[in-house]
Every structure is written in C-alpha cells, then in structure tokens.
Amino acid sequence: MTTSPKTIAILGGTGDLGTGLARRWAKAGHKVVIGSRTAEKAIAAAADLAEFGVEGLENAAAAQKADIVAITVPYANQIATLEACKAALQGKILIDATVPLMPPKVGTVQLPEGGSAAVAAQAMLGDGVTVVSAFQNVAAAKLQSDVDLECDVLVAGDKVAARQTVIDLVEDAGMRGWHVGPLANSAAAEALTSLIIQINRRYGIDGAGIRITGTPTKDGRHTG
C-alpha cells in the first residue's frame, strides 16, 4: 500500500468499475463502502466482496462514512447523485470517473457545456469539495481480476496534494497514475474514452488502455 489505510466510498459502485475498484482497494488494505441509490442494491454488491470486508450503504450514508469518495455512475446520473450527497461530501476529495458518453453515439466525443463532466461536478459542489478526475480510460471489467493492468491513469485536479492522494490510490489499485494538471484538463481524458471505444471496435481489442512512455527524471509528488 502506498498510502495509510482510508475509508473510501464508491457512489453508484455496483457496476464493473465500482466493484472492481472496491475489490482492489480493499485488497490493498483500505476500508471500502459501496454506495447505491438503494441500500439493498449496495448490500447485494458488497456481499460478493464480503471476503474483503466491503460494506454496502445508500449513497449519502456511504459518503458520510468515508474519508475519500469516488463516483462511478453513468453520465446521466452524475449530477443527481452528487446533489443527493452534497452535504456529506463537504471537506472531502471526490474522485470523479464520469465519462460524458451520450448513447447511441458513444464513439463520438460529446463534451458537455462547461468543458467536462468533472468541471460541472466541481461547479455544482462548490469549493468545499475537491474534485479530482481519474479512471475514465480503464477497461472496467479487467479490474475484476488479479491481472496486472496495462493501463495508466490520467489524474487532473486543481490541487496538487489532492491529485497525489488519488495517484497513490491509483497505485494501490495496481495501475500507474500521472499528474496532468488542473481539473479543466479532465476534458482530454473524458474525450479519450470515445476514441478508445473506436479502437476497441476497429481492432477487436478487449479493453484497450493508454500508456505514457518515457522515464521520469523528477518526482511528480513535489512539482505542480
């Protein structure tokens, strides 16, 4: 583990991305709470991860219990989910994995007004919440296994320390994270998902990912 143990809530965490992250973070030693619109659905998802000590609660209760919160819901449900949990999110880091995919044209980049889903989340939640964008380009189903993931994670946020906290959690989940600058740059990671969908379709790849090449010559923890 690269960080001290934390309690992490995953809002809308019953899908592949949410349960995959829950599994990996719990195995790394963190306490994980899966959230859902109903406690029953969250409890059912957590039951499949009982061996790792994962708990299930309704979204707002999960957020209240956590040190750090992630959201892994479809774009159509993002803002409503966050509005329901706004009070419980104050003073915390929110890891936003939302991708603004708009069916049926999910292979076409369609960024929302304001530039990105993460920027919209920050604007709605206010300064009391620190939104950090990450995990948009990960093949969610692959998180369910123990295999090493050939995928890097782009981490955008306005506060360097908050980005580093998320990068540490990326590493705890078995991937490599990269500082990519302010939250506005999350637009690039969100848009990239549609390109990856096109690559998967064109070449028959089972969950393409991205890799940053080159060898760092300085520690990203201590630079902006």
Tens of pLDDT, residues 186-201: 999 999 999 999 999 9
User: Among 55, 54, 56, which Cα is nearest to 24's?
Assistant: 54
Residue 224: per-residue pLDDT:
61
The pLDDT, as a whole number, for residue 39 is 97
Q: Which residue has the higher pLDDT, 147 or 97?
A: 97
Q: H or E segment at 198?
A: helix 186-203
For domain 7-205, which CATH number applies: 3.40.50.720, 1.20.58.410, 1.10.10.10, 3.40.50.300?
3.40.50.720
Q: What does the pLDDT average to over 15-21?
A: 97
pLDDT of residue 223: 65
Residue 156, helix vs strand vs coil: strand
Determine how many CB atoms are found less than 10 A away from the CB of residue 138. 26
Please report, for the chain, the start and end positions of each structural domain, with discontinuous segments joined by +.
Answer: 7-205
- Looking at residue 81, its pLDDT comes to 98
